[in-house]
C-alpha cells in the first residue's frame, strides 16, 4: 500500500524565520517559495513549511506516506478504524494529500504524486 515516507510538513507561524532555520538545517534553497508554502527537496524527501498549518489543526510535523491510489488507501485506513482528519485535496499540479488519525490520535498523512 505505502511506498515509504516521501514528505514531511511543518506548521510554522513566521515563514521568514522558519525559512532561515530550515535553510541552515537542510543546506539547500527552496524549490518552491510562495507566501502559502515553502518546499525543499532533500535527496528525494519533500520538506515543507506551511504557514497555515496551525489553523488547519496541525500541532507538529506530519509525515506523508506515498501511495499509488490515495482514495483506496484512505478507505482502507478508515475501514481499519482510523478517523478522517483532512479530506483528499489537490495541493497543486495534481498532487493529492489527505490525513487520518489512528486510535491514539496520531496523524497519518498520505500523498499521491501527480
pLDDT in tens, 12-25: 999 999 999 999 99
Which residue range forms the structural domain that includes residue 23? 2-112
Rounded distance between C-alpha atoms, residue 104 and residue 107, angstroms: 9
pLDDT digit string (tens) for 41-65? 999 999 999 999 999 888 899 999 9
pLDDT above 80 (res 3):
yes
Residue 106 pLDDT > 80: yes
The enclosing domain of 49 has a CATH number of 3.10.180.10
Phi, then psi, of 104 in degrees rounded to 5? -95, 5
Asked if residue 61 lies in contact with residue 20, where contact means CB atoms within 8 angstroms, the answer is no
- Our count of domains for the chain comes to 1
Amino acid at each position: 500500500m505505502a511506498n515509504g515516507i516521501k514528505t514531511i510538513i511543518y506548521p510554522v507561524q513566521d515563514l521568514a524565520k522558519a525559512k532561515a532555520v530550515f535553510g541552515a538545517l537542510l543546506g539547500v534553497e527552496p524549490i518552491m517559495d510562495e507566501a502559502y508554502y515553502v518546499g525543499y527537496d532533500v535527496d528525494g524527501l519533500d520538506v515543507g513549511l506551511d504557514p497555515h498549518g496551525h489553523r488547519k489543526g496541525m500541532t507538529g510535523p506530519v509525515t506523508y506516506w506515498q501511495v499509488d491510489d490515495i482514495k483506496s488507501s484512505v478507505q482502507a485506513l478508515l475501514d481499519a478504524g482510523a478517523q478522517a482528519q483532512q479530506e483528499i485535496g489537490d495541493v497543486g499540479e495534481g498532487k493529492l494529500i489527505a490525513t487520518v488519525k489512528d486510535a491514539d490520535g496520531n496523524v497519518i498523512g498520505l500523498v499521491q504524486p501527480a
